């Protein structure tokens, strides 16, 4: 594997999940693959889970790890070509990328949507420059339009907890005080559309996601109706995708918060969220603390999804 930016890079998804469950049983069995190899993780944005789980995954594989927070301690980076660099950014990404690549074998990049230009965000301007100019395998640690390590971990979690062959999985929008990117719901939809699940997306009108991620999924604007008979409820906020409202908050309607009453409409569904989560905005204390909450197992599986991806990259070096 040379790049990991979406579900397509995993090939057969059932095989990938099987590999993940094997890795989980014996996570130190592939230590030889990473001996004397270095994983560089570059963060343009904050992280708790991705930072720790990816580092742990690389260490499980015997790798050395280096972490760079671009906005803390590195030179401020210019990302636009053609700019006269007489401002506060002393280094250009086009030099920084090949320099960083000199010191490592595999690169992970976190670079969120900036909501300044939909075209820039949806062309994955930063991530694709790393893929193009580093000459090294590059994996997304959440980019502008996707968070495939999270979605892979979510699928592994669903596989572990499902009680029927083809469960009903509902992705629900929920309110949030700030405008958040569509990366997590995009990737979750990307994976669920390839998995053996009945997939439903529910959100207020105006929050439609990009067609390339929604594909054949059922979109239900009535959240309560969507919850009926569900086996998994996956909550997430996202800002509007469609023009002219790209990146904007259209609603903070607390009637969309996931609560015990709504979970009662489901078939005893598990509750999922990628974290971090705003309690009593996205989900009530009762639901996230209930035995049906899978937020910690999901986070734990981030180590496993990252390990499968890095393992496949090491195998292709």
Chain residues in the site for ligand CP (CB under 6 A): 47-50, 142, 150, 274-276
Between 168 and 310, whose beta carbon lies closer to ligand CP?
310
**Cβ–Cβ under 8 Å, residues 217 and 233:** no
Q: What is the rounded distance in angstroms from the CA atom of residue 31 to the CA atom of residue 29? A: 6
Q: What is the rounded distance in angstroms from the CA atom of residue 139 to the CA atom of residue 310? A: 8
CB of residue 52 vs ligand CP: minimum separation in angstroms? Answer: 8
- Strand 138-140 relative to strand 106-110, pairing: parallel
Between 97 and 183, whose beta carbon lies closer to ligand CP?
183
Between 94 and 275, whose beta carbon lies closer to ligand CP?
275
Token pair recorded at residue 99 = 């320099």
Rounded to 10 degrees, the C-alpha dihedral 4/8/13/16 comes to: -20
CB of residue 161 vs ligand CP: minimum separation in angstroms? Answer: 18
CB of residue 16 vs ligand CP: minimum separation in angstroms? Answer: 19
Rounded to 10 degrees, the C-alpha dihedral 170/171/177/182 comes to: 180
Q: What is the rounded distance in angstroms from the CA atom of residue 299 to the CA atom of residue 181? A: 19
Angle of CA points 239, 243, 246, to nearest 5°: 25
Between 168 and 274, whose beta carbon lies closer to ligand CP?
274
Between 78 and 154, whose beta carbon lies closer to ligand CP?
154
CB of residue 6 vs ligand CP: minimum separation in angstroms? Answer: 16
CB of residue 48 vs ligand CP: minimum separation in angstroms? Answer: 4
Between 55 and 223, whose beta carbon lies closer to ligand CP?
55
Between 50 and 257, whose beta carbon lies closer to ligand CP?
50
Q: What is the rounded distance in angstroms from the CA atom of residue 140 to the CA atom of residue 75? A: 22
CB of residue 164 vs ligand CP: minimum separation in angstroms? Answer: 27
CB of residue 237 vs ligand CP: minimum separation in angstroms? Answer: 13
Between 149 and 314, whose beta carbon lies closer to ligand CP?
149
Which residue's beta carbon is nearest to the bound ligand CP?
A: 50
Token pair recorded at residue 103 = 């010191």
Quickly list DSSP for 242-297.
Answer: STTSTT------GGGSB-HHHHTTSSSPEEE--S---BTTTB-HHHHTSTTB-HHH
**Cβ–Cβ under 8 Å, residues 110 and 44:** yes
Calculate the alpha carbon distances from 262 to 188, 235, 255, 295 in Å.
Answer: 21, 12, 10, 18
CB of residue 144 vs ligand CP: minimum separation in angstroms? Answer: 14
């Amino acid at each position: 594997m040379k790049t990991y930016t979406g579900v397509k890079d995993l090939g057969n998804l059932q095989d990938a999940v099987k590999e993940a469950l094997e890795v989980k049983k014996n996570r130190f069995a592939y230590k030889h693959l990473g001996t004397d190899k270095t994983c560089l993780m570059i963060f343009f944005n904050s992280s708790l889970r991705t930072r720790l789980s990816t580092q742990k995954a690389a260490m499980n594989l015997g790798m050395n790890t280096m972490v760079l927070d671009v906005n803390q301690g590195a030179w401020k980076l210019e990302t636009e070509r053609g700019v006269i660099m007489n401002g506060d950014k002393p280094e250009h990404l086009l030099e920084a990328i090949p320099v960083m690549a000199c010191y490592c074998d595999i690169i992970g990049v976190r670079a969120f949507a900036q909501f300044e230009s939909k075209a820039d965000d949806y062309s994955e301007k930063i991530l694709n420059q790393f893929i193009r100019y580093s000459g090294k395998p590059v994996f997304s640690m959440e980019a502008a339009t996707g968070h495939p390590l999270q979605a892979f971990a979510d699928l592994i979690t669903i596989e572990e907890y499902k009680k029927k062959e083809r469960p009903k999985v509902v992705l629900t929008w929920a309110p949030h005080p700030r405008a958040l990117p569509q990366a997590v719901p995009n990737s979750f939809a990307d994976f669920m559309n390839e998995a053996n699940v009945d997939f439903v997306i529910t959100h207020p009108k105006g929050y439609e996601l990009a067609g390339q991620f929604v594909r054949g999924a059922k979109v239900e604007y009535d959240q309560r109706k969507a919850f009926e008979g569900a086996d998994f409820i996956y909550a997430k906020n996202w800002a509007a995708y469609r023009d002219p409202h790209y990146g904007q908050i259209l609603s903070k309607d607390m009637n969309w918060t996931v609560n015990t009453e709504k979970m009662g409409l489901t078939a005893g569904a598990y509750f999922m969220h990628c974290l971090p989560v705003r309690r009593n905005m996205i989900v009530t204390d009762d639901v996230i603390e209930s035995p049906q909450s899978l937020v910690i197992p999901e986070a734990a599986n981030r180590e496993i999804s990252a390990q499968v991806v890095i393992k496949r990259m090491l195998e292709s070096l």
